[in-house]
Amino acid sequence: MNYPFPMDAIQNQTDPSTLDSRPFKELIQTIAQVLSGNDGVLFAYLYGSSASGEKGRDVDIGIFSEESGDPHRLSSDLKVALSTETGLSPDVFDIRILNGLNEQGDLFALLYLKNVLSSGRILVDRDPDLRSDFLERYGSRFRECEGLIQEVLA
């Protein structure tokens, strides 16, 4: 299935995996369906340029997964499934696992989460209570580190 997509940053227009030849709304619906079909995905965000339909090179997806699963395998499996369903190259999908980022104690992980959570669109929300707890832990951790974050950004 090929969709027109409003991102034309990829230069090779003859490449069938380019994003600018796929309709944005249908592509996002297909991505949400693929992610919803995987029991390992508890909640997922679309973020980055693709969340707002802006031009970009990839589709950024943040996933919170089952703790018992292998996150690297999940990411690889999802890239293959997304590629199969959309006709885009697996390399177009930048999938990041969100598990553990709140607990890392890394300012850059918190800044990354800020980007995902502030500009992202929820694609899957299989466990709203878990997502709410995740957001509360993020907010608490961000407030704890806010002074340091402001210094880093200054």
Mean pLDDT of the chain: 83
- Whether the predicted pLDDT of 22 surpasses 60: no
Is residue 8 in a domain? no
31 is in which domain, residue-wise? 24-153
CB neighbours (10 Å) of residue 148?
Answer: 11
* pLDDT one-digit tens code per residue, 51-61: 887 777 899 99
**What are the φ and ψ backbone dihedral angles of 68, each rounded to 5 degrees?**
-80, -15
Is residue 7 in a domain? no
Is residue 108 in a domain? yes
Distance between CA atoms of residues 99 and 102, nearest Å: 8
Predicted local confidence at residue 54, as pLDDT: 78
Q: For the domain that residue 89 is a member of, what is the CATH number? A: 3.30.300
Is residue 15 in a domain? no
Give the mean pLDDT of 67-82.
Answer: 92
Predicted local confidence at residue 8, as pLDDT: 36
